[in-house]
Structure 1
């Protein structure tokens, strides 16, 4: 009885938090900012996240990396504009791209538009061999897509050794990068994880770390995983938590776990 009471309190607080975050997000989209300029009062609305992403997309797609005779690499960059807190485009424009330009590393950008975009792109791109690395600005989900896209290629086993994958942590879960940093006793404080990731990806002398893959074959699917393979309750918690991606971020896994446990 006491357990049920605490679960009810938790669900109430969770629902309140979700509604609070969503209402604040709606208000921010319509908030006016007024500034006194001389004798005029000028007002403008805050731009919504979608408007900011649209502008950043235009900047990225119109941007041409500087041509240099001393090019030190050529990267294929995938950006998921909706992952995590929706800051991946901003991170690339303001931080990653300038570092790549400074180090004379060329890049081609693909902004994903939905599930399996990266998977389809990598499985069908004919000139993939011209790149010497893939950079992903998203969470572990897009890394999963990229790996499985590569596995669909006829030349998959030739591509894997010559096409390392770098990750700029922009998702709700960034388990792959965190696991590698933990192996080398690096701090997993978010700021340090981001700093190290950008340092690795934009350095011409960066070295790849081998990661074991687990392949699962069934009558209807052939997939590889790099963190864990799950089914049953754990898979349900992960999938069902998607509804709270924008409102709760990484905390959605905990919320979904509590709700699933309470319902069972």
Structure 2
């Protein structure tokens, strides 16, 4: 499977961000990628009011992403915001292109490091995998990476690859945590992990806003053995990666952590 990881700096205008999606999808298609993965909040970066820009999955923003996928002939994965019934929004991944049209709502919300995502965002509740060319792929978003059970649920559902669009919050030690967590999730689920973050806005002269997680870059492809195979720096860029799916089988034969799990722990004594 040949995939593209598109590390961008999303702006404030959803329509302008569609131009970025189109240009990057065309470039990925020219490189014969089957999937192009954009970051969380591709629709508009964090730090703006989300409810006014949120649109349903059958709205114009998602519709234009579908047109881009159809024009380029590849599957596009992009983060957007959809209205939630309680007045908040959901942090949604749209996955669309030949043979697939699906979405995932972020389950674990970023109520950490002086930011409260749950104030404006409602959590999802469903583990989601999609099939592209017969390959099962698990979907996760940013803060989900701190919860290994989600990635093992993907593996249990048959996923050999996981996609992790993100808009990682900056701060002391956060880069080190990012690298540690993406490697750990690939290793403890023994999957290929494509972690695609927003580039650091400061790298292109855009001032970050408050405590909003606007990205640090360092998107990476991580092998099922937990090793980083390719990684960008803080600036915008693209990785084109060939994922050897047979390597998952080989690693799982050597490190059978999924088979060796012991589930259903007894209750502790009173």
TM-score by length of 2: 0.27
Which one has a larger percent strand, Structure 1 or Structure 2? 2
TM-score by length of 1: 0.28
Whose radius of gyration is greater, 1 or 2?
A: 1
